[in-house]
Amino acid sequence: MRLDKYLKVSRLIKRRTVANEACDAGRVIVNEKPVKASYNVKEGDQIEILFGSKTVKVRVLKIQETVKKDEASELFEYL
């Protein structure tokens, strides 16, 4: 699954366009490397998102195309 879509489905970022812009700006780092929105996310990847002065680090647990809002947090774990 594309990184921008994963960020939206997991609800780490609300909209896919915002996720796409964050990737283009270099604010999304996967496995310690800045990546583009088209990066193919795999289970076990570590994603780091830079929100201004705040940084969010998560590990991908599952990949699903669609998920209900209350089940979205099961797709990743905070580090």
Domain range list for the chain? 3-78
pLDDT in tens, 36-61: 999 999 999 999 999 989 999 999 99
Name the residue with tokens 């921008």: 4
> Across the beta sheet with 54-60, what order do the strands follow?
33-34, 28-30, 46-51, 54-60, 76-78
Q: Is the pLDDT of residue 34 over 90?
A: yes
Q: pTM of the predicted model, to two decimals?
A: 0.93
Topology of domain 3-78, CATH: 3.10.290
Amino acid 52: pLDDT: 87
How far is the C-alpha of 11 from the C-alpha of 25, rounded, in Å?
Answer: 19
Let me know: does 50 contact 27? Beta carbons within 8 Å. yes
